[in-house]
Amino acid sequence: MRARPLTLIQDELVDYDKAMERMTDLVGQRQRDERPDTLWLLSHPSIYTVGRRTPVDHLPDPARGIPVMETGRGGQLTYHGPGQLVGYLIVKLGEEEGIVDYVREVELRLVEALGRLGLPAERRDTPPGSELLTGVWTSETRRKIISIGMRQSRGVTSHGFALNVDGDLEPWHWAIACGMPDVDMTSLRRELDGRADVSMDDVRPVVAAAFEAS
């Protein structure tokens, strides 16, 4: 992977709609070359977000009380909540670089970060005719730990990834994540299970370093 230093923004819990407003503003600034490539690390209160292809029967029961919001990213349903590290990537792509190329780079950088945190992980190629396997999966237990959904507009990326660190995994069971009924979503806390005590404060600098963000 080539060097691609990013400017880092860090926040704690940010409402999803407010984050989308700010991300749109950051993308506009990058399109006008008013700011450098940027990684924004944050978390959201509990919410499900859906891509444009998400079937209605994949949505949670409204009685669960967690809001559902449509978003402009690629991919299908995902869950955000406390204990999950979200990274929004506002990056100007090269002339010969497409969004699929950059998503693969994001996957590899996150695999590297998880390795530094003591968890072997991998990206997967999607077999023809299958649901997209975009994201990062644990090598040993074969569970999905990072969701990725991105788009580009006028050559600049937006949205990004969600890494489950130590949050509640139960809401993942109340809907169909990533278009895959059998997917087993996991977290660092679940996978490491006493082998290491990894907190959000431990994870943030490792993820930032993997993206060369400062």
Bigger pLDDT: 188 vs 73: 188
Distance of CA 93 to the CA centre of its chain: 18
Q: Class for domain 7-210, per CATH? A: alpha beta
The answer for residues whose C-beta is within 8 angstroms of residue 56's C-beta and 6 or more apart is none
pLDDT higher than 70, residue 130: no
pLDDT tens profile 42-60: 999 999 998 777 888 888 8
Q: What is the pTM of this model?
A: 0.94
Tracing tokens 């209605």 back to the chain, one arrives at: 56
Which residues are part of the catalytic machinery?
178
pLDDT tens profile 159-188: 999 999 999 999 999 998 877 888 899 999
Encode 186-203: b = buried (16+ Cβ within 10 Å), e = exposed.
Answer: bbbbbbeeeeeebebeeb
Break the chain into its structural domains and give their ranges: 7-210
Encode 134-164: b = buried (16+ Cβ within 10 Å), e = exposed.
Answer: bbbbbeeeebbbbbbbbbbeeebbbbbbbbb
Q: How would residue 127 be classed by pLDDT, with cut points 50, 70 and 90?
A: low
